[in-house]
């Protein structure tokens, strides 16, 4: 799949309007966060995350992570970006609020003999001083924070002036955007929250980071999910992917069968190998913000 990239200045674009992926009520962020933590701790996200390793490698290249730099990986999951940065001889701190996922990342680092510091941490309240890092990374993690403004401000706070924030975020137009729209039909999200897919739009990125950024560079890229079939994908994700695991468990029959059939139909409609194994390209933005 092709990709496109462009750079735009924060001064020019910070006046851009809302994304249209909005919220209307005032949510209880703490209660939502507690439920989210339980959701991501369910299943076993490591089975999903390990297949996304290429995204962490690409993000470190885009953010120009260099040897000796202090790198923080936020909402690191099982450590894809952490491992990629450590391979570049950066000094890496890997954080997540699900301790079991960090333990998986620790085992991966030990297997690859990579020195990484691991710390359980809430990305909306990072336990680090201002400007402590040269680079802050997040691959499909920070975008799921319920309080988006606070999450973005924490990333900005802990990176030094002139440092970089590197993000991989799914787009609302891509497969993950369609997937979460479908899930919301069966299990509505908490009222008042901005969609996590808003992070995958340039106007929202400018709203979140523009005042603190000297520039924002965006590349549209694709990660392809490869499975034997749509049914294989659904079974794999219902077993291991926390949001899908919880969503399917929350729906009673016959709605669960309807949900399952809708998932298969969505996957088949996006399959670029019709009649063969499943290959579904999922668009995401690779973003580098310079403070």
One DSSP character per residue, 121-182 reads: --TTS-SS-TT-EEEEEEESSGGG-SSHHHHHHHHHHHEEEEEEEEEEEE-TTSHHHHHHHH
Range of the domain at 27: 4-171+190-224+282-290
Model confidence at 169: pLDDT above 60: yes
Please indicate, yes or no, if residue 178 is contained in any of the structural domains. Answer: no
pLDDT digits (tens, 9 = 90+) for 201-245: 999 999 999 999 999 999 999 999 999 999 999 999 999 988 888
Is the Cβ–Cβ distance between 288 and 63 less than 8 Å? yes
Residue 24 lies in a domain: yes
pLDDT at 19 over 50: no
Q: What is the pLDDT of residue 9?
A: 39
- The per-residue pLDDT of the chain, averaged, comes to 89
In a domain, 183, yes or no: no
Answer yes or no: is 14 within a domain. yes
pLDDT tens-digit series, residues 108-150: 999 999 999 999 999 999 999 999 999 999 999 999 999 999 9
| Per-residue pLDDT, 25 | 59
User: Considering the domain boundaries, does residue 56 fall inside one?
Assistant: yes
265 within a domain of the structure (yes/no)? no
Q: What is the pTM of this model?
A: 0.88
Return the CATH number at 38.
3.40.50.150
Q: Looking at the 3D structure of the chain, how many domains does it have?
A: 1
What mean pLDDT comes out for the span 8-36? 53
pLDDT at 17: 34
Report pLDDT for 8.
42
- What confidence tier does 13 reach under pLDDT thresholds 50, 70, 90? very low
Q: Please report the pLDDT score of residue 35 as a whole number.
A: 78
* Residue 98 forms part of a structural domain: yes
- Token pair recorded at residue 249: 């468990």
């Amino acid at each position: 799949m092709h990709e496109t990239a462009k750079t735009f200045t924060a001064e020019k674009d910070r006046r851009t309007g809302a994304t249209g992926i909005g919220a209307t009520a005032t949510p209880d962020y703490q209660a939502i966060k507690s439920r989210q933590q339980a959701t991501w701790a369910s299943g076993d996200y490591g089975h999903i995350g390990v297949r996304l390793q290429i995204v962490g490698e690409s993000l470190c290249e885009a953010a120009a992570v260099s040897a000796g730099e202090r790198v923080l990986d936020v909402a690191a999951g099982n450590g894809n970006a952490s491992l990629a940065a450590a391979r570049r001889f950066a000094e890496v701190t890997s954080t997540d609020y699900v301790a079991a996922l960090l333990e998986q990342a620790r085992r991966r680092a030990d297997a690859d003999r990579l020195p990484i510091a691991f710390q359980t941490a809430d990305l909306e309240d990072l336990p680090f001083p201002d400007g402590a890092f040269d680079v802050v990374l997040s691959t499909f993690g920070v975008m799921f924070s319920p309080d988006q403004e606070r999450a973005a401000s924490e990333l900005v706070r802990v990176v030094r002036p002139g440092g970089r924030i590197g993000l991989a975020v799914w787009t609302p137009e891509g497969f993950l955007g369609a997937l979460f729209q479908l899930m919301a039909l069966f299990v509505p999200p908490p009222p008042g929250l901005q969609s996590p897919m808003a992070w995958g739009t340039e106007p929202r990125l400018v709203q979140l980071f523009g005042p603190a950024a000297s520039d924002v560079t965006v590349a549209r890229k694709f990660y392809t999910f490869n499975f034997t079939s749509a049914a294989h994908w659904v079974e794999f994700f219902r077993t291991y992917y926390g949001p899908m695991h919880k969503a399917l468990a929350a729906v009673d029959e016959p709605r669960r069968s309807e949900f399952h059939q809708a998932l298969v139909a969505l996957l088949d409609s996006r399959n670029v190998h019709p009649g063969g194994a499943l290959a579904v390209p999922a668009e995401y933005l690779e973003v580098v913000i310079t403070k």
